[in-house]
Amino acid sequence: MRIVTVLAALSGALAVAAGAFAAHGASGQAAEWLKTGGHYQLVHAVATLVAVRMGERISPWLFVAGGAVFAGTLYLMAFGAPHWLGAVTPIGGAALIAGWICMAIGAWRRPA
């Protein structure tokens, strides 16, 4: 799980950078995409670390992959990529939701 922990830490760093750029270097829709992507990426970087600490095996990967796809497509569009990438963004969101569901199932199955 070392690699997923490293990816979560880098994801958190990227999220802060995206938020900073949204606040100081972007405007309009680009700033909104950066803020949204940064918010979701940062929340799920922390969720990844919690899931690793809980001993989860699937949800950390879903959080990392989902965050990369969700935030990544928003970041790419903010920097000028085609807007059709917005159709891919929900795939990342679905992975994030699946990560939360997997974490809930794992917590439910764990002895009290």
SS3 38: helix
pLDDT digits (tens, 9 = 90+) for 32-66: 999 999 999 999 999 999 999 999 999 999 999 99
Distance CA 15, CA 8 (A): 10
pLDDT digits (tens, 9 = 90+) for 4-36: 999 999 999 999 999 999 999 999 999 999 999
Which of 69, 62, 112, 60 minimizes the C-alpha distance to 92?
69
In sequence order, which residues have a C-beta less than 8 Å from that of residue 65 and are 6 or more positions away?
92, 95
Quick one: pLDDT at residue 111? 86
Q: Per-residue pLDDT for 112 more than 90?
A: no
First and final CA of the chain: distance in angstroms?
A: 24
Over residues 68-74, the mean pLDDT reads 98
What range defines the domain where residue 76 resides? 2-109
- Chain position carrying tokens 């159709």: 87
Total number of domains in the chain: 1
